[in-house]
């Protein structure tokens, strides 16, 4: 029997890549997205990529997970076997300036979704958590049973939503929940048709480098070069978005095949740390473009070095990242080169 999956936030960066893989694996997919941080063109690209036949298995609904009526309409019309829940706001700085926006969207939105899922007896969930729940880790690699800490309102929503998921499972053991803690998702679909398209000036390293490479920004600010690391710049665990997408498909399949899932958290990372300067070098190599840099003071709140322990993902999900930073930069550049303005048209002069 074909399984039917509701994907919240499926028009976004990680969502679109995951939907492609779900359709390729034979799932039926319904997206609900309010297009707060995405465009419908991304969903059209997903259709183009999977072709007309598999596109018949994809539905897109413009809607907001905070709106019970939007959700009720979907759940009363279709039976969903599981939900992958990506929808949420994710900009750390914005969350510090506008915490209510984050509490409303991420917390209220998720709770509303879970209430409707329970009402319609849909109790299988894969949730987008984040390495942000490790705060500033004292020990690396980050292991799932470390003590958790929120560093900002965005991180607090992820931390609370993990706790909320545990409470829901404790109250009703029919729920099966996998909390996936992503490290730093980068790269793009190998076709160059899908990728990350942030609104305004990017906050994150790779979209920023990409915009320097295509001439939209003059230089990269490197935040901190006095960290106690190999070259003085901060170290992260970058993970190819297609590896992440496959991690979701694997987690979903576990929900259908394993009985005693309960509610558990699992890292999705490569287990390898890469410094900012190493990432810049790898991107220059992949693109043939020079990325001018300017050394700047550390960014407040940034950790020195973060990377994942990958043992639990290997053991519980039988999943391991395939790609390294060279492939991440190759595919990021392929997307950038074909879509220097993302999904948008270039501005008219």
**Residue 132 vs 310, nearer CB to ligand UFG:** 132
Q: Other CB atoms closer than 10 Å to residue 243's CB: what's the count?
A: 21
154, 182, 208, 307: which is the annotated catalytic residue? Answer: 154
CA 11 to chain centre: 12
Output the residue with the shortest Cβ distance to ligand NAD. 12
Give the residue among 206, 195, 211, 107 at the shortest CA–CA distance from 150: 107
Q: Which of ligand UFG, ligand NAD, none lies near 73, with the C-beta cut-off 5 to 8 A by kind?
A: none
Of residues 92 and 249, the one with the C-beta less far from ligand UFG = 92
Which of the choices ligand UFG, ligand NAD, none does residue 308 contact, using the CB cut-off of 5 to 8 A by kind?
A: none
Q: Does 207 bind ligand NAD (CB under 6 A)?
A: no
Q: How many residues bind ligand NAD (CB under 6 A)?
A: 28
13 lines the binding site for ligand NAD (CB under 6 A): yes
Interface ranges with ligand UFG (CB under 6 A): 90, 92, 130-132, 182-184, 203-205, 208, 220-223, 234, 236, 276, 299, 302
Which of the choices ligand UFG, ligand NAD, none does residue 95 contact, using the CB cut-off of 5 to 8 A by kind? none
Interface with ligand NAD, residue 162, by CB under 6 A:
no
Write down the least CB distance from residue 260 to ligand NAD, Å: 26
Closer of 191 and 204 to ligand UFG (Cβ): 204
Cα angle: 264, vertex 267, 269; to 5 degrees: 165
**CA-based torsion, 108, 113, 116, 118: positive or negative:** negative
Assess contact for 180 and 248: CB atoms under 8 A. Answer: yes
E strand or H helix that includes residue 333 = helix 325-338
The answer to whether residue 96 forms part of the interface with ligand NAD (CB under 6 A) is no
Draw the binding track, 172-201, toward ligand NAD (x: CB under 6 A; -: no contact). Answer: ----------x--x----------------
Q: Do you know the residue count of the chain?
A: 349
Are residues 125 and 108 in contact, defined by beta-carbon separation less than 8 angstroms? no
Dihedral angle computed from the Cα positions of residues 272, 276, 277 and 283, in that order, rounded to the nearest 10 degrees: 80
208 labelled catalytic: no
**Position among 30, 38, 309, 310 found at the interface with ligand NAD (CB under 6 A):** 38
**How far is CA 97 from its chain centroid?**
22
Nearer to ligand NAD, 35 or 285 (CB): 35
Cβ burial 224-240 (10 Å sphere, 16+ → b, else e): bbebebeeebbbbbbbb
**Minimum distance between the CB of residue 202 and ligand NAD, rounded to whole angstroms?**
11
The DSSP code sequence of 139-177 is: SSSB-TTSPP--SSHHHHHHHHHHHHHHHHHHH-TT-EE
Which lies closer to ligand NAD via its Cβ, residue 128 or residue 339?
128
CB 72 within 8 A of CB 78: no
The 226-265 contact track toward ligand NAD, x by CB under 6 A, reads ----------------------------------------
Provide the terminal-to-terminal Cα distance of the chain, rounded to the nearest Å.
53
Question: Footprint of ligand NAD on residues 39-78 (CB under 6 A)?
Answer: 64-66
Q: Is 159 a residue that touches ligand NAD (CB under 6 A)?
A: no
Query: Which residue has tokens 């793009």?
Result: 188
User: Which residues, listed in sequence order, are joined to residue 130 by a DSSP beta bridge?
Assistant: 182
Q: Which residues participate in catalysis according to the annotation?
A: 154
Q: Which residues bind ligand NAD (CB under 6 A)?
A: 8-9, 11-15, 32-38, 64-66, 86-90, 105, 109, 128, 130, 182, 185
């Amino acid at each position: 029997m074909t399984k039917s999956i509701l994907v919240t936030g499926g028009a976004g960066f990680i969502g679109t890549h995951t939907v492609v893989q779900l359709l390729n694996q034979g799932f039926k997919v319904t997206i609900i997205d309010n297009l707060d941080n995405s465009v419908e063109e991304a969903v059209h690209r997903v259709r183009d990529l999977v072709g007309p036949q598999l596109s018949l298995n994809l539905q897109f609904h413009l809607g907001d997970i905070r709106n019970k009526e939007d959700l009720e309409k979907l759940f009363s019309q279709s039976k969903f076997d599981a939900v992958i829940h990506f929808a949420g706001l994710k900009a750390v700085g914005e969350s510090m300036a506008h915490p209510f926006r984050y509490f409303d969207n991420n917390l209220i939105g998720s709770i509303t979704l879970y209430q409707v899922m329970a009402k319609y007896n849909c109790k299988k969930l894969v949730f987008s958590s984040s390495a942000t729940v490790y705060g500033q880790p004292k020990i690396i690699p980050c292991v799932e049973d470390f003590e958790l800490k929120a560093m900002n309102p965005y991180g607090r929503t992820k931390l609370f939503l993990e706790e909320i998921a545990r409470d829901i499972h404790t109250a009703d053991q029919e729920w099966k929940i996998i909390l996936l803690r992503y490290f730093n998702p980068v790269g793009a679909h190998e076709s160059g048709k899908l990728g990350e398209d942030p609104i305004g000036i990017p906050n994150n390293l790779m979209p920023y480098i990409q915009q320097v490479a295509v001439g939209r920004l003059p230089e990269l600010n490197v935040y901190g070069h006095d960290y106690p690391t190999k070259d003085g710049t901060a170290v992260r665990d970058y993970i190819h978005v297609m590896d992440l997408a496959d991690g979701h498909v694997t987690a979903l399949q576990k929900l259908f095949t394993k009985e005693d899932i309960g509610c558990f958290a699992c890292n999705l990372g490569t287990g390898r740390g890469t410094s900012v300067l190493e990432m810049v070098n790898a991107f220059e190599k992949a693109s043939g473009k020079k990325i001018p840099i300017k050394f700047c003071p550390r960014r407040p709140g940034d950790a020195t070095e973060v990377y994942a322990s990958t043992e639990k993902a290997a053991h519980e999900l039988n999943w391991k990242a395939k790609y390294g930073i060279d492939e991440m930069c190759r595919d990021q550049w392929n997307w950038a080169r074909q879509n220097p303005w993302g999904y948008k048209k270039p501005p008219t002069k």
